Amino acid sequence: MKRKLLSMVLAAAMTGTMLAGCGSSGDTSSAPASTQAPAAATEAAEPAAEAATQAAAPAEGDPSQDSGEIYMFIASPEYADAINTLIDQYKSVAPNVTINYETTQNDYPTMLKAKINSGDVPDIFSSTSGKEIDTYMDYSLDLSDQPLMDVIDPGVASAMASPSTGKGMYGIAIKGNYFGLIYNKDILDKAGVEAPRTMDELKAACEKISAAGYKPFTTGFMEWWVYKHIGQHFLDAAAKEAGITAGELVTSIQNGEKKLEDYPIAYNNFFDFIDLAVKYGDDKPLETDLAGEEQAFATGQAAFMLGQGAWVEADVLKIDPNIQIGFQGYPVDDKAEDCQVITGSDQALRINKDSENLQAVLDFINWWYTSDYGQSWFTDVAGVVPPIQSDAKSEFTIIEQGKAEASANGSGELAIVDSTDAYNQVFGEAVQAYIAGTATREETAAALDEQWASIDGPQAQ
């Protein structure tokens, strides 16, 4: 049953790629956990639907006694250096365990589904939290009985429960998150503008910043996932205007009850924002990836960085340690109070319930979450919002300003978890087609309505 579902979702994602005509591309990065040459990925057991019932693994073991290989295939290459550091440190704890780590961003959902459908389920893999928890339920271990439950942040834990039952803990998180608009304070000061909180203020700021000799935006529009990060701010404001939650808004489209055009802020304002970013952004927006975006922002070429969050600050500071970073929500309409940062845990690292080396995997993730080093890793190495209960103060501006913004102005709903990444990728690629001029605004919205229902709606279950 689940194999059939994944095949259908994969086909839908490929259809969306052909519709868009200009998907992202990128290399896959990998690293072993030792100085040996990378070993082949551990061959996973057959998925649960076709495997014998597995006896429950002990909740906690002795990592020093573990051996063998763990295959870790996740998205988020921006954390590659930090995770390699984590793996290197774990080698001193479990010297006989090799963690073969592979990461990619572009086309990750398609690649993961191909691995699962071929029976090569990674020991640790990633998905979006929220709605997508159920998509991979048959392959994921419920971690409710693990020691890490004593320290995980309750908000993170709730995002890892099955949305259909409200039960279980089917993932861990590399980080909590803050999503919003990142800006260069020095450029705004030189252009004589305050950080804009309404759409009209943003348009006026763009004119002044451009007149001062800077690009207002660097966009990263080559990456499909930046669009979901931007779009959720408009979904939140549209839901607020309609008097419903973002989840209810998304469900209404997934069920075919409403269309994107029925929500003006999510339709008109979002596309107006995209048009503005293209007009005042990178010379070749569909060729600017994450690295290009970080370079343009960190070297003072652009005032605003789009589609990103706390995870980029470490890379930006490597380029310019003295850059003055500002962080707030996106201007989405004419109400300054709707300019809110978004908080939450959008990514789930799943544990293959049929892993051939399950105890070693569990020992690794429990060490990650409960050891002194593992807990300090989140703030001191990765520079992220800790997904554990912690009072640690971060040295990163975006995290601290995110906390301040959320405290002063409230925070928006994490709307990206109301859709699967199979749809989110189609969404990004469809907007890329709009930017490329191969589809109109109306055609793009109609295609999104159809894909939202076919990928995430009732008929996809």
Q: What is the pLDDT of residue 293?
A: 97
Residues 198 and 99 in one domain: no
The reply to whether 298 falls in a domain is: yes
% of the chain residues with pLDDT over 70: 87
Instruction: Please tell me which residue, 35 or 282, carries the higher pLDDT value.
Output: 282
How far is the C-alpha of 93 from the C-alpha of 110, rounded, in Å?
34
What token pair was written down for 349? 């690292």
Torsion angle defined by CA atoms of residues 54, 156, 270 and 401, in that order, rounded to the nearest 10 degrees: -150
Cβ burial of 153 (10 Å; 0-12, 13-18, 19+) is middle
Q: What is the pLDDT of residue 220?
A: 96
Average pLDDT (81-88) is 97
CATH number of the domain enclosing 418? 3.40.190.10
Residue 415 shares a structural domain with residue 373? no
Give the pLDDT score at 394: 79
| Same domain as 187, residue 298 | yes
The pair of structure tokens assigned to 296 is 């343009």
Q: Which pTM was predicted?
A: 0.75
| Within a domain: 406 | no
Q: Contact 107/24 with Cβ under 8 angstroms?
A: yes
- Measured CA to CA, the distance from residue 216 to residue 303 in angstroms comes to 5
- Distant-in-sequence, close-in-space partners of 291: CB < 8 Å, separation ≥ 6: none
Question: Which region among 20-34, 88-102, 318-332, 416-430 has the lowest average model confidence (pLDDT)?
Answer: 20-34
Same domain, yes or no, for 334 and 223?
Answer: yes
240 and 107 inside one domain: no
Same domain for 204 and 286?
yes
pLDDT score for 398:
92
**Does one domain contain both 356 and 333?**
no
User: What pLDDT, in 10s, does the model give residues 153-173?
Assistant: 888 898 899 988 889 999 999
- Give domain status of residue 196, yes or no: yes
Residue 263 lies in a domain: yes
- DSSP for 103-154, written as a single string: E--TTHHHHHHHHHHTT---SEEEEESTTHHHHTGGGB---TTSGGGGTB-H
What gap in Å lies between CA 12 and CA 426, rounded to an integer? 8
Containing domain of residue 302, as a range?
A: 181-340+411-460
Q: How confident is the model at residue 337 (pLDDT cuts 50, 70, 90)?
A: very high
Which comes out higher in pLDDT, residue 58 or 392?
A: 392
pLDDT value of residue 455 = 95
For the chain, the domain total comes to 2
Give yes or no for residue 21 having a pLDDT over 50: no
pLDDT digits (tens, 9 = 90+) for 178-198: 899 999 999 999 999 999 999
- With a cut of 80, say whether residue 4 has pLDDT above it: no
Q: Residue 31's pLDDT band (boundaries 50, 70, 90)?
A: very low
Mean per-residue pLDDT over the chain, rounded: 87
pLDDT tens-place string over residues 353-389: 999 999 999 999 999 999 999 999 998 888 788 999 8
How big is the chain, counted in residues? 461
Identify whether residues 64 and 161 lie together within a single domain: yes
The rounded distance, in Å, linking the Cα atoms of 170 and 159 is 9
Q: Are residues 299 and 326 in the same domain?
A: yes
Same domain, 267 and 378: no
- Residue 291 sits in the same domain as residue 437: yes
Nearest to 127 by CA among 66, 73, 208, 56: 73
Q: Does residue 253 fall inside a structural domain?
A: yes
pLDDT at 111 over 70: yes
Structure tokens of 381?
Answer: 């190495």
Residue 99 falls inside a structural domain: yes
Helix ranges (H only) for 54-104 are: 80-91
